[in-house]
Amino acid sequence: MEAGSATGARRLARPEVTLHGLEPPPRGWLAWLTTTDHKKIGILYIATALVFMFLGGVEALVIRLQLAQPDSTLVNPETYNGLVTMHGTTMIFLFVIPLTAGFANYIVPLMIGARDMAFPRLNALSYWLTLFGGVAFYCSLFFDPPSAGWTMYAPLSDDLYSPGSGVDAWIFLIHLTGASTLIGAVNFVATIHNMRAPGMSWGRMPLFVWTILVWAYLIILAYPAIAAAVTMLLTDRHFGTSFFDATAGGDPLLWQHLFWFFGHPEVYILVLPAFGMISEILPVFARKPIFGYKAIAAATVAIAFLGMLVWAHHMFATPTATVVLAFFMLSSFTIAVPTGIKIFNWIATLWRGSIVYKTPLLFAAALPALFVIGGISGIQLAIFPVDWQLHDSYFVVAHFHYTIFGGGVFGLFAATYYWFPKMSGRLLSEGLGKVSFWLMFVGFNVTFLVQHSAGLTGMPRRVYDYDSELGVTAYNLISTVGSFILGVGVLLTAVNVVISLKSGKRAGHDPWRGNTLEWFTSSPPPPNNFDVIPRVRSVEPMKDIRREVAAAARPAETVSQPAAPRSL
């Protein structure tokens, strides 16, 4: 008894943690289902985005097949409008955004030397919301897909003119992916603000992390507008409100203002991360530091800020006062300045470099080459009297594909080739990669360059058929041929990924001689990312580390001793 109380007292004095059993970490598919690891979530995002890219790509090819010849009967007008709507929505909300989120998820914590995102469970929620948003949206294929265009202009999207439930599936998609993206954005802001490696001040943060931070803030500012707008559309459709119904005192233009208040920042949400990616990739392969680090970071912030002030340039043909049109023309002009700064800084980064021609470099260098075409046509479209002629024509289709595909997707492909070795431990095949790049580059230009001409000749967008006398038949045939070249190019990269996952060359920690911290850890990184985190002393910590290692490996600096006198 006494002994018992003595041990009891000892127990009180020294509390123990009792472990009733050690749960083995889940394996197989359960590991993916329950993961909160930013790397696994990143890969889930990327895989999901690639599946939706395939769906959106097939839709695009059907659209191009339908338009290859006038009077084609491949699809009927309703189906065609559905295809256009699904293609646009898929590529924006289910391909580019999730793919960007995937890379950001995987790379940002590694780049800033963090163990994970700030809120790992929230991160998992983010991913699953996107997936289920996409699934809900694609389920509409089986009953009644939406067909009012990805811009879903009211009153066409209202219950009177779109009575089916496709628009509701679209609203559901926007709500789910919108919540996902917003939650993700908050997570990135918290992570980037608080979890950077010791010594990584704002001025030493990698440019990709800069763009993701700005991307996250843009999302937080822009997404609530679309969330509100689609909620209003939902109540208009089902609960008797009339926000957008002119016959009951509402206004269709309200939809356009709310939509584009989100929609234009969305364009920068799509391309800014790609700008950040190539700002990392170009210096690595030019073997040069990035030219004008501060200017590029500042230009990113400036583009985001100005991007919030230009939304009505999508509405130049609406009944709007000239002074308003002039304001939005000038605000759109100003974005050209920071964008131009970026393009010239990238070229200056290559200038006097020693450029190593690997596939990531090819995709990265194609980005400014293609984006500048979209930038120039963007300035033309910003001039509102000129836009009156070009608006809603194929010229606009060409313009936004040059910006979002040329500027965004080429950057994302560069990122795929650049970071695949880090994620899988294996390099993608260079041969297949280069063939894929050239097919994509040539196919892209063949597809979209002539669309400028089709638009200038008078072909509106979103038409399932065109007049054979309009003079756009040849342009459309060229464009269709190009789209299939482009499709083969994209497919080759997919094949490359599948083959290289099993049999690619082993990458090692740092196959490219990178500048940033993700190359400090193994490929793929261990669950905790880093066992030790180096102190960051510059914007290129890996360069510093390589220099230190080289210095340590060299024999200590010595001076040869003068020969001893013989006589001794």
Partner 1 sequence: MRRALPSGPQRRLVLAALAGALLALLVAAPFAFADPLTPESGGGSQNAENIDRLYKITLYIGIAIFLIVEGTLLWALVRYRARRGAPEAAQIRGNTPLELGWTIGAALILVVLTVVTFIYLPDIENPPPSGPNGLRADQAQFASIDQPDPPRSGGPILRIEVNGQQFLWRYDYAGGDQLFTYHEMVVPTDTTVVLEVTATDVIHSWWIPKLGGKVDGVPGHVNETWFKVRAGREGIYTGQCAELCGAGHADMRARVRAVTPDEFESWAEDTRANIQAAGEELSEERKRRDASEGEEG
> Looking only at residues 29 through 58 of this chain, which bind partner 1 when binding is defined by CB under 8 A?
none
Q: Which of 25, 340, 508, 526 binds partner 1 (CB under 8 A)?
A: 340
Q: Which of 120, 224, 460, 524 binds partner 1 (CB under 8 A)?
A: 460
Measured from the CB atom, the residue of 170 and 188 that comes closer to partner 1 is 170
Measured from the CB atom, the residue of 308 and 336 that comes closer to partner 1 is 336
| CA pair distance 269, 101, nearest whole angstrom | 11
Measured from the CB atom, the residue of 153 and 484 that comes closer to partner 1 is 153
Binding mask 347-386 vs partner 1 (x if CB under 8 A, - otherwise)? xx-xxxxxxxx-------x--xx--xx--xx-xx--x-xx
CB 476 to partner 1: min, Å: 13
Using CB atoms within 10 A of its CB, is residue 324 exposed (0-12), middle (13-18) or buried (19+)?
middle
Binding footprint of partner 1, residue count (CB under 8 A): 86
Q: Which of 100, 187, 345, 523 binds partner 1 (CB under 8 A)?
A: 345
| CA pair distance 35, 44, nearest whole angstrom | 10
Residue 506 bridge partners (DSSP): 426
> Of 42-50, 198-206, 283-291, 492-500, which part binds partner 1 (CB under 8 A)?
283-291
Binding mask 132-151 vs partner 1 (x if CB under 8 A, - otherwise)? ---------------xxx--
> Of 103-111, 230-238, 462-470, 522-530, which part binds partner 1 (CB under 8 A)?
462-470
450 near partner 1, judged by CB under 8 A: yes
Positions 464 through 523 that interact with partner 1 (CB under 8 A): 464-467, 475
Which residue has tokens 């919301």? 129
399 near partner 1, judged by CB under 8 A: no
CB 188 within 8 A of CB 108: yes
411 near partner 1, judged by CB under 8 A: no
| CA pair distance 398, 395, nearest whole angstrom | 5
CB 401 within 8 A of CB 411: no
| CA pair distance 552, 314, nearest whole angstrom | 59
3-state class (DSSP) for residue 495: helix
Kindly list the distances between the CA atom of residue 493 and the CA atoms of 281, 413, 436, in Å, as whole numbers in the listed order. 18, 9, 6
CB 402 to partner 1: min, Å: 12
Kindly list the distances between the CA atom of residue 226 and the CA atoms of 231, 239, 257, 266, 416, in Å, as whole numbers in the listed order. 8, 19, 10, 10, 30
| CA pair distance 433, 69, nearest whole angstrom | 32
Q: Which of 115, 204, 257, 462 binds partner 1 (CB under 8 A)?
A: 462
Residues ≥6 apart with Cβ < 8 Å to 437: 359, 362, 363, 366, 413, 489
289 near partner 1, judged by CB under 8 A: yes
CB 523 within 8 A of CB 507: yes
Q: Which of 98, 134, 145, 155 binds partner 1 (CB under 8 A)?
A: 155
75 near partner 1, judged by CB under 8 A: no
Measured from the CB atom, the residue of 9 and 337 that comes closer to partner 1 is 337
